[in-house]
Amino acid sequence: QVQLVESGGGLVQAGGSLRLSCAASGRTFGSYAMGWFRQAPGKEREFVATCTASGHSTHYVGSAKGRFTISRDNAKNTAYLQMNNLKPEDTAVYYCAVSAKGTYINTSPSDFTSWGQGTQVTVSS
């Protein structure tokens, strides 16, 4: 079982940037696909970005394309979500997760087996 801990959230003005980190325990991190999801108050958890185990393939929700970048450093057991040009509608708790389907692009929460505790991102207008 991989354990995940997110960090890097905070309060930022619209147009600003944040980089979220997801630190993973376990020696098999490099075999898992990674995903970032977010959940705003009163809304369902939403897919944001994902990458395969190698990091070579990525996929984003439409609203994140061109603004967010998912990456990973398997040697450091860490994944990242660089978020630029943030908007108030990006405000949410952000979660990272891993999927055993390492070579696939996974976008459904049901594809992911381990989740972090979440980190709050608040974007003020």
Predicted confidence (pLDDT) per residue in 8-41, tens digit: 999 999 999 999 999 999 778 999 999 999 999 9
Give the confidence band of 110 by pLDDT, cuts at 50, 70, 90: very high
Rounded to 5 degrees, what angle do the CA atoms 53, 23, 84 make?
A: 80
- Alpha-carbon span 26 to 38, nearest angstrom: 24
Q: pLDDT tens digit string along 86-108?
A: 999 999 999 999 999 999 999 99
Distances (CA, A) of 106 to 26, 61, 84: 21, 12, 23
Distance CA 114, CA 28 (A): 13
Q: What is the pLDDT of residue 118?
A: 98
